[in-house]
Amino acid sequence: MRHLLKALAPIALAAVTLNAAAQDFPTKPITIVVPFAAGGPTDRVARDLAEAMRKPMGGATIVVDNAAGAGGSIGANKVAKAPADGYTLLLHHIGMATMPTLVRNIPFKVETDFEYVGMVNDVPMTLIGRPSLPANNYQELTAWINQNKGKINLANAGIGSASHLCGLLFQNSVKVDMTTVPYKGTGPAMTDLIGGQVDLMCDQTTNTTGQIEAKKVKAYAVTSPKRLSPAALKDLPTLDESGLKGFNVSIFHGLYAPKGTPAPVLKKLNDALQAALKDADFIKKQEGLGAVVVTDKRVQPEEHKKFVAAEIAKWSPVIKAAGVYAD
């Protein structure tokens, strides 16, 4: 018996230490890893969310670390391998659901390497073009695409990203192959699109609304089934109504922590997330960019996990049927 007690003592001590650390959390800055470049849509959501979570986290410092590259898998892998103490979080998007099918060799498991903190928002996407493109609407774009087969390039944020998925499904639907140009995020891709170095891009409204409004890019269509409400996007037709029946790509963002993060820490993070999603300023910023802040049960860790599992099940056959997955 004495041996058993002696053997269990370090475990009990570790549990007490962990619990005490969880009670005090946070005592140092929290980092939200964004797996794409600064200045893009995921980065924008992360920075606004960090700001909105600061107050409910007791004024904690929350910083953003852009660990960009490989379509979002470098940043996700960094968090999967980080200490499970709540100080390193991941803000990712639909890639959590599509990467497992879209990319054959990712170095982590979406289902088992993370704790799910909760979902942040739903974000539609738009198909946009460089300002010098002669096509002024989707019908003219279709004609231009058919006249320029073999010469068109399409920007994206790397294999496995949302713009990659949307671009692949678009090429598949119009039955025209385009040269994809991968960037570390659609922030830098947008700079090149505006500069005319690339022709087309499919990206979140959180990146495109402002540029469409400022007429810096040409807007052709919404990729989700319903038209959108921000003023700049109101008159934009959906791809579905423009002839690509059933075309439907819309994305989400969620917050994740490394597997094994203590439950009391996760609870504090989820409480802060829920408070942030009720923050009037955060909601206003998101809505102005066409994103919809989550108000339903998907903000709960278990529900978000179920939602991501359902998204994996939904996208896997679509990606496989389209034959658009990559190595």
Contact positions vs ligand ASP (CB under 6 A):
36-37, 40-43, 156-157, 161-163, 185-187, 203-204
Comparing CB distances to ligand ASP, the nearer of 253 and 268 is 253
What is the nearest approach in angstroms of ligand ASP to the Cβ of residue 4? 52
Q: Which residues pair with 221 in a beta bridge?
A: 127
Comparing CB distances to ligand ASP, the nearer of 115 and 203 is 203
Q: Is-cis flag, bond preceding 83, omega within 30?
A: no
Beta strand pairing status for 88-92 and 218-222? unpaired
* Helix, strand counts (H, E) of the chain: 11, 10
Length of the chain: 327
For CA atoms 293, 295, 296, 301, give the dihedral sign: positive
Round to whole Å and give the CA distance between 237 and 220: 7
What is the nearest approach in angstroms of ligand ASP to the Cβ of residue 8? 47
Comparing CB distances to ligand ASP, the nearer of 250 and 300 is 250
DSSP letter string over 22-82?
HHH--SS-EEEEESS-TTSHHHHHHHHHHHHHHTTTTS--EEEEE---GGGHHHHHHHHTS
Round to whole Å and give the CA distance between 271 and 117: 9
What is the nearest approach in angstroms of ligand ASP to the Cβ of residue 100? 15
Comparing CB distances to ligand ASP, the nearer of 124 and 187 is 187
Round to whole Å and give the CA distance between 312 and 275: 28
What is the nearest approach in angstroms of ligand ASP to the Cβ of residue 28? 27
Comparing CB distances to ligand ASP, the nearer of 253 and 298 is 253
What is the nearest approach in angstroms of ligand ASP to the Cβ of residue 74? 13
> Which residues are CB-neighbours of 63 under 8 A, at least 6 positions away?
29, 30, 31, 32, 50
Comparing CB distances to ligand ASP, the nearer of 93 and 268 is 93
Comparing CB distances to ligand ASP, the nearer of 22 and 38 is 38
What is the 3-state composition of the chain as percent helix, strand, coil, each rounded to the nearest 5? 45, 20, 35
What is the nearest approach in angstroms of ligand ASP to the Cβ of residue 261? 24
What is the nearest approach in angstroms of ligand ASP to the Cβ of residue 207? 6
